[in-house]
Structure 1
Amino acid sequence: MLRIGLLGASGIAPAAIIHPAERRTDVTVMAVASRRPSAAADYASVHKIERFYDDYRALLADPDIDLVYNALPPSEHAEWSIAALEAGKDVLCEKPFAMNAAQAERMLESAQATGHRLIEAFHDRYHPLSLEIDALIASGRLGDIVALRADFSVGNPFEPRGIRHVPALGGGALMDLGCYPLHWVRSLMNEEPAIVSAIATTNPLGADMSIEAELRFPSGTTAHVSASMEAGPNETSTLDIVGSRGTAHVDNLVFPSAGHSISETVDGITRVSTVAGLTTYDHQLDAIVTALAQHTPMPTEGADSVNNMIVIDAIYAAAGINRQFN
């Protein structure tokens, strides 16, 4: 039985952890911690969680917790993920992994020093759709990959108290949304890109409301990555792949269980397909259970998390957005 503790009485945890755990017999959400008065108790009551704490360290001291899910704001990912690792827990940390690459490096160093697992919650990476895209590239049907275009945009009007809009809390379109398409293109190419250019629009607090970046990989493949909170009411997450022999368009990579498609055109013939699967979060939890039991590596841990933050830092620098965090 994998026993999970939640850091934060968060809005994402029911979909990401609680409900997927309820659909299994080998996982239980045992505890939740929140520093807001009575929030943990109320949350535990609603979600039928056995234990609740008004202090994060009290949850970390619970000897019955195996895995900590860190769904705190990005500004607290480094501090509390490291604290959880040092308390002897494995950690599933929400994306974006940290505030910058320097924090990500310290987190990775802690995981290596303690011998415990530190996994970034790019849940989409564990859906069969992601594996199907990998297989498409590996098959060579599209030929050499010439260019990629990836976007994740969700309307989120400016709210000065919303964590997604406050730079000091880790807000911004690239941090909240753009980390996904950036991860897609890096994973597909299995290379680390250079930043050619980047441009952003910002809110009154200085967080990016929209951002676009041009990347170039060592192999010569180019990529355009974009994200926007200025979009309309419809969420979009798309990937376009241009090869020397054909193209592919993938729709809804982030939440494919809500409906998605792969449109592949080779030699003038278009084929549209979908991939069967559960929610991305169900697949992520299944992968975690397997990896912890079998001591096998996962694609969203280790250097991958650090390298994604290195590119995020570089995109912000190219866009002229100054982000100074320790």
Structure 2
Amino acid sequence: MSEIKWGIIGCGDVTEIKSGPAFNKVPNSSLVAVMRRDAARAEDYARRHGVPKWYSDAQQLIDDPEVNAIYIATPPLQHEEYTIKALAAGKPVYVEKPMSLNAAAAERMKAASEKYGVKLSVAHYRRAQPMFLKIRQLLREKAIGDVRFVQLQMLQPPNPALIAASETNWRVDPAISGGGLFHDLAPHQLDLMVYFFGEPAALPNFDGVRTGQGIALNQSGTSAADDLVTGQILFKDGVVFNGMWCFSVAEQDKTDLCEIVGSQGKIQFSVFGSTVTVVKNGTAKELIFDPIPHVEQPMIEQVTAYFLNKAENPCSAEQAILSMRIIDQFTS
């Protein structure tokens, strides 16, 4: 095929700006159909975005002969089901993060991709953004020497502005999201750690299986989900990661900070911000990146090229499963 003609399963609020419009803005790509269980809202989305077709049934969109690739943007509960159905129909899949409810489901999705011989890519879209490509370059160039450890803090009040608006607060229903706000935001952060530092090492005293360890608590009791998570990772190259996520702090205490500390300096940035600070020899240098109107557009461009056999997979199932395992281990 010479063009990817996309269908979206789950054309909800998160696709309005961050991803949906981008499918018509990258080369050899167009959005031809959308699906949402609420037929009136699916029709409204299609009308507003100039999409030719809309459905209220996912299987009908998957079976549409004009659609030759599927973007799954439902809550995580449906990722496995719809991914496997699309793969079985021979349609390559680009699935939102987190890849699934848990690592076991992600493994089944990977197995289905291999069984049917159909491509699968995961929407860890920060991998394709200039800011994080620059950080990766700085690390490879040893701009701060040899990396020793990473310290990450994500402290937010209840209902933080970082979370996209939705009709229901499904993100704090573990049956739908896999957990709480940690499961919504941490996949971005943990995937970047895998992207920067590679595969985690097996921790000692865990039979060579466990790669991360953590504590998860429901401190506020405002939902069924944990709202505090801490975790540690040891990467194979010796880098140690320490993370703290808390979603019940006061507004004035909110923090989004990642520090990568090396033998000659450190790199500081907010995963959900636009500034990188490199501190070396007592001097701080700021790198400021322009906002991206549709934050997934660089990734969608890479995925489109991959589906057209013109590029490598920008985030494979195998890569995404690494961060899914870490999430499971932090919260088990």
Instruction: Quote the residue 1:209 is aligned against.
Output: 227
**Alpha-carbon distance, 1:75 to partner:** 0.8
RMSD: 2.5
Q: Which residue of 1 aligns with 2:280?
A: 266
CA distance in 1 between counterparts of 2:167 and 2:278 reads 42
Matched letter for residue 212 of structure 1: T
Deviates more, 1:110-119 or 1:150-159: 150-159
1:137 to 136, 139, 151: 139
DSSP 3-state at the match of 2:228: strand
The 5 Å alignment of 1:190-201 reads 190-193=198-201, 194-201=211-218
Report what 1:186 is aligned to: 194
CA shift for structure 1 position 314: 0.6
Structure 1 CA distance for aligned equivalents of residues 233 and 58 of structure 2: 39
- Give the structure 1 partner of residue 236 of structure 2: 218
SS of the equivalent of 1:15 reads: coil
Q: Unpaired segments of 5 or more residues in structure 1?
A: 318-326
Match of 1:174 in 2: 182
Aligned equivalents of 2:253 and 2:297: distance in 1?
A: 24
Partner of 1:238: 257
The alignment's TM-score, normalised by the length of structure 2, stands at 0.85
After superposition, the C-alpha distances for 1:257-314 in whole angstroms (9 at most, x for unaligned) are: xxx2111112222222234574431211211222222353223213111111111111
Deviation at 1:219, TM superposition (A): 3.3
Tell me how far 1:177 sits from its aligned partner: 0.8
Counterpart-to-counterpart distance in 2, 1:309 and 1:301: 13
Q: After superposition, give the CA deviation of every residue in 1:188-235 in whole Å (9 maximum; x if it has no partner).
A: 111215324324335454312232212222333221223343353998
Equivalent residue for 1:57?
A: 59
What is residue 92 of structure 1 aligned with on the other side?
Answer: 94
Alpha-carbon distance, 1:154 to partner: 5.2
CA distance in 1, matches of 2:264, 2:44: 56
Which of 261-270 and 93-102 deviates more? Answer: 261-270
Amino acid at match of 2:194: R
Q: TM-score, normalised by structure 1?
A: 0.87
> What is the letter of the counterpart of residue 268 of structure 2?
H
Offset from partner CA, 1:138-188 (integer Å, 9 cap, x none): 111211111102344554439995111101001412210111111122221
Identify which of structures 1 and 2 has the higher relative contact order when contacts are C-alpha pairs closer than 8 Å and 6+ apart: 2
CA contact (8 A) 2:27 2:301 kept: no
From 33, 36, 56, give the equivalent of 2:35: 33
Residue 170 of structure 2: aligned partner? 163
- Give unmatched runs, 5+ long, in structure 2: 161-165, 202-210
Q: How do 1:240-259 and structure 2 match up within 5 A? A: 240-251=259-270, 253-254=271-272
Give the secondary structure class of the aligned counterpart of 1:208.
coil
The amino acid that maps onto 1:132 is K
- Cα distance change on mapping 1:270 and 1:122 into 2, 3 Å: same
